[in-house]
Amino acid sequence: MRTHINNLLESRTACEQEDIADPLYHWQDEFQLPQDLIYLDGNSLGPLPKRALKYLEQAIQKEWAEDLITSWNRAGWWNLPETLGEFIAPLIGAASGQVIVSDSTSLNIYKAVHAALRLRPERTVIVSEADSFPTDLYIMEGVASTRQNMQRRLLGTDGNSLAELLDDQVAVVSLSHVNYRTGELLPIAELVKQTHAAGALFVLDTCHSAGILPVELDRWGVDFAVGCTYKYLNGGPGSPAFIYVAKQHQQEAVNPLSGWWGHARPFAFEENYQAAEGILRFRTGTQPILAFRGLQAGLEIAQEADIHQVRIKSQRLTQLFIELVKMRCGNFGITLQSPTDPEKRGSQVALHCLNGFAVIQALSARKIIADFRAPGTMRFGFAPLYLRYTDVWDAAEALFEVLETEEWRKECFQQKAAVT
Amino acid sequence: MRTHINNLLESRTACEQEDIADPLYHWQDEFQLPQDLIYLDGNSLGPLPKRALKYLEQAIQKEWAEDLITSWNRAGWWNLPETLGEFIAPLIGAASGQVIVSDSTSLNIYKAVHAALRLRPERTVIVSEADSFPTDLYIMEGVASTRQNMQRRLLGTDGNSLAELLDDQVAVVSLSHVNYRTGELLPIAELVKQTHAAGALFVLDTCHSAGILPVELDRWGVDFAVGCTYKYLNGGPGSPAFIYVAKQHQQEAVNPLSGWWGHARPFAFEENYQAAEGILRFRTGTQPILAFRGLQAGLEIAQEADIHQVRIKSQRLTQLFIELVKMRCGNFGITLQSPTDPEKRGSQVALHCLNGFAVIQALSARKIIADFRAPGTMRFGFAPLYLRYTDVWDAAEALFEVLETEEWRKECFQQKAAVT
């Protein structure tokens, strides 16, 4: 890869040629992106797939307006959680019947951690990571509060390796595949092995990996997993999340959010809850159908694109960006927070910069969209289906100009945003 | 009312004149309903408000496609739970700051019952109703399973009045305002009084009352309430539900689904959960924005229409239907399951009929849409904003013809549907 990247570092023309040769180049036509915008925030919210327009119009004008209540059967609304779950399964290395789309990531973590704890009733420790996306930690607190004497151990706070934290009191290890801040990619297969050797269960958060790099839940032996669909899966703002429950746990696993959609016979309107067979018991209540329809297009595209090509291009894009920044912006106090080894990195690059917030604002004014995470992290996400090598070149060039001219000092870029 | 209805029973022409005089007549223009369809299933899924098209297009083409991630601030996505909650508040008699839209009804019941139980930690009984919509019961089971020694007492099974079931062990009473099957309307103010006198808290399910009849949560002293937006509020298939938490409980109430949207400082990305002030702590994780935008139009319409006029017309429509059915279909073994007194009835009419399923199918073939709930209930919902008195006349006439000609015996109407 190094030689390859070195060539691209030479000139924008080299990047142009790389775009022409790129086997994923044509995928950008599937997305409706504003003209002249370089969108490096697909790790936060993916853009609109053009075919989503068609599905949404169909859902609104035909299914809702015209067919009304009959669409629950006729249009398959009722089965969307498992229908769309089957779209996701191959993207995360799951055999059929183990994934549904339902609710939000937070709620799916609640279900997964709760179910895992009940499978290890005699144990009292949850292991997670200090640098988890906070909702994972908050939800674990919520689950723990419903049980007696639960304790939390955090990687990064209570120990520096998973091995140090594991013992026969650990019920569940819950970690993120890719760190939301630094982009660090964890060696899940190895961590699952250690976890199982200690007799605990493994819950994986794939929010920053599903759809952007190969995930092999079945092969790695992951017990439960959750993930987000509005980032690299381009499902639309706040589109519903998914949950994976490994086949061997489905019979025993208890969903605490035992709503009627998870009942064995929802339309018998029985007085007592009886969980449906298999993954369907992780359904809860009525789901937001328009959001499901918005999601379908993104999932189709993710299935049709070759994930291995996506991974190769993703590594090249991030590496190119890192090298360009090193070359051009090395003198401005910017440091790399992401792993230097592309094999240990997801599809984003985190740069630390004291004035990062203002820099991101200045880039935004130049129509280059990335985001900022306090206290000083600039996050650049690289989605290979709609990004070009020339986009990376132009983004690095713009970053250099913003830093060199101190454009970021402008008053308008210094204001603090409530949501970033 | 009786004289008034008697006049309408005379002829379809009398109903036509009533339509012309109806102060709510013009509201039907706000809805996009298929031509010649009589839709008596708005208690299950409301039709598409025309202005929802505008909001959805704006959300898809402008907010998502063009403004992308900036819409979290610029378009107010992040605040939609409380923004839309404020639309709902006046419809349910709630002062500002007590309602958010978030998640599904099932999940909001989970939050409400869980929070209420934690406010009465020394008590061990939940009282509900055998004839609750099942998800309420299932979710209560789920909540109870996370606590020690919880017991359930059911109105209709363990006693015939709330008074019989109340004692100093009851922590929570959770009931539906309008019975989803029969349309019976409970005297909530009185039941809350009894509940409070026993030292328990009251959780109200307003799925079948919000937007269709006056609800006075603050005045009645309800502690927690939940409700659905895709029925009489016309929010779209599976549109997100709402939760109400009375001001006086907000400081103490604990949301077990403690996701990052309910944190006091969600963007500080802190390691530990600290609940936001007030109703905002009942937020959970990222919400499906397209479904929220679909909902906004229905809420606006509900706010703009006069709920007292809606209630009057609703009572007239249901009464007219009951009288017409009694007059024309009395000889076909059909019995009324709804209360005869319009003051004790929501906006639906339930008729028991041994061949109800096939009858509903036959009506559907005549473009009259109602629904069926096993074992023998035909449910007819009456939404005054888009239904005419002549629609009621025509529906009753069609029911008569289906019964008289035994049209329902046709093979095609006998097949069993998976979802009804």
Query: Given CB atoms, is A412 within the 8 Å cutoff of chain B?
Result: no
Verify that B318 and B297 share a domain, yes or no: no
* Over residues A352-366, mean pLDDT: 96
What pLDDT shows up at residue A336?
97
Verify that A326 and A287 share a domain, yes or no: no
Average pLDDT, chain A: 95
Verify that B210 and B136 share a domain, yes or no: yes
Verify that A292 and A364 share a domain, yes or no: no
Query: Given CB atoms, is B236 within the 8 Å cutoff of chain A?
Result: yes
A270-325 tens-digit pLDDT: 889 999 999 999 999 999 999 999 999 999 999 999 999 999 999 999 999 999 99
Q: What is the ipTM of this complex?
A: 0.96
Q: What angle do CA B312, B317, B322 make, to 5 degrees?
A: 125
The residue whose two tokens read 């996009």 is B32
> Would you say residue A420 has pLDDT above 70?
no
CATH code assigned at A403: 3.90.1150.10
Helix ranges restricted to H, B45-104: 50-57, 71-74, 80-88
Number of domains present in the structure of chain B: 2
What pLDDT shows up at residue A3?
75
> Would you say residue B89 has pLDDT above 50?
yes
Verify that A376 and A272 share a domain, yes or no: no
What pLDDT shows up at residue A325?
97
Verify that B25 and B173 share a domain, yes or no: no
> Would you say residue A229 has pLDDT above 70?
yes
Tokens of A275: 């969980």
Known catalytic residues of B are: 133, 205, 230-231, 379
| CB atoms A286 and B104 under 8 Å | yes
Asked if A129 and A157 count as a contact pair (C-beta separation under 8 A), the reply is: no
| Radius of gyration of chain A, Cα coordinates, nearest whole angstrom | 22
* Over residues A77-81, mean pLDDT: 97
Does residue B140 sit within a domain? yes
Domain end call among B304, B330, B347: B304
Question: Phi, psi (5° rounding) for residue A301?
Answer: -60, -45
What pLDDT shows up at residue B263?
95
Verify that A192 and A340 share a domain, yes or no: no
Does residue B208 sit within a domain? yes
- Within 8 A of A238 by CB-CB distance, chain B residues are 77, 286-290, 292
Does residue B420 sit within a domain? no
Verify that A321 and A291 share a domain, yes or no: no
What pLDDT shows up at residue B1?
73
Tokens of A327: 């070359």
Segments forming the whole domain that contains residue B331: 2-32+306-414
3-state DSSP percent of chain B in helix, strand and coil, to 5 = 45, 15, 40
Domain end call among B287, B304, B321: B304
Tokens of A321: 């960006």
Verify that B77 and B175 share a domain, yes or no: yes
What pLDDT shows up at residue A239?
98
Give percent above pLDDT 70 in chain A: 99
> Chain A closest CA to B16's CA: distance in Å?
25
In this structure, chain B runs to a length of 420
* Over residues B58-63, mean pLDDT: 98
Does residue B38 sit within a domain? no
Closest chain A residue to B132 measured between Cα atoms? Answer: A271
Verify that A133 and A209 share a domain, yes or no: yes
Q: Which of residues 161-220 of A touch B (CB under 8 A)?
A: none
| CB atoms B285 and A39 under 8 Å | no
Q: What is the pTM of this model?
A: 0.96
A146-197 tens-digit pLDDT: 888 899 999 999 999 999 999 999 999 999 999 999 999 999 999 999 999 9
Give percent above pLDDT 70 in chain B: 99
Q: What is the DSSP letter of B263?
A: B
> Would you say residue B321 has pLDDT above 90?
yes
Give percent above pLDDT 90 in chain A: 90
Does residue A92 sit within a domain? yes
Does residue A46 sit within a domain? no
Q: Which helix (H) or strand (E) holds A291?
A: helix A289-304
What pLDDT shows up at residue A417?
53
> Would you say residue A374 has pLDDT above 90?
no
A22-31 tens-digit pLDDT: 999 999 999 9
| CB atoms A419 and B261 under 8 Å | no
The number of angstroms, rounded, from the C-alpha of A295 to the middle of its chain's C-alpha atoms is 14
Does residue A40 sit within a domain? no
For residue A160, count other CB atoms closer than 10 A to its CB: 10
* Over residues B342-351, mean pLDDT: 98
Verify that B128 and B18 share a domain, yes or no: no
Does residue B43 sit within a domain? no
Domain end call among B249, B272, B304: B304
B69-81 tens-digit pLDDT: 999 999 999 999 9
Tokens of A91: 């993207």
> Would you say residue B417 has pLDDT above 70?
no
Closest chain B residue to A46 measured between Cα atoms? Answer: B68
Who's near A91: CB < 8 A, 6+ residues apart?
A210, A211, A215, A233, A299, A302, A303, A307
Asked if B176 and B149 count as a contact pair (C-beta separation under 8 A), the reply is: no
Question: Phi, psi (5° rounding) for residue A83?
Answer: -60, -50
Verify that A99 and A207 share a domain, yes or no: yes
What pLDDT shows up at residue B374?
85
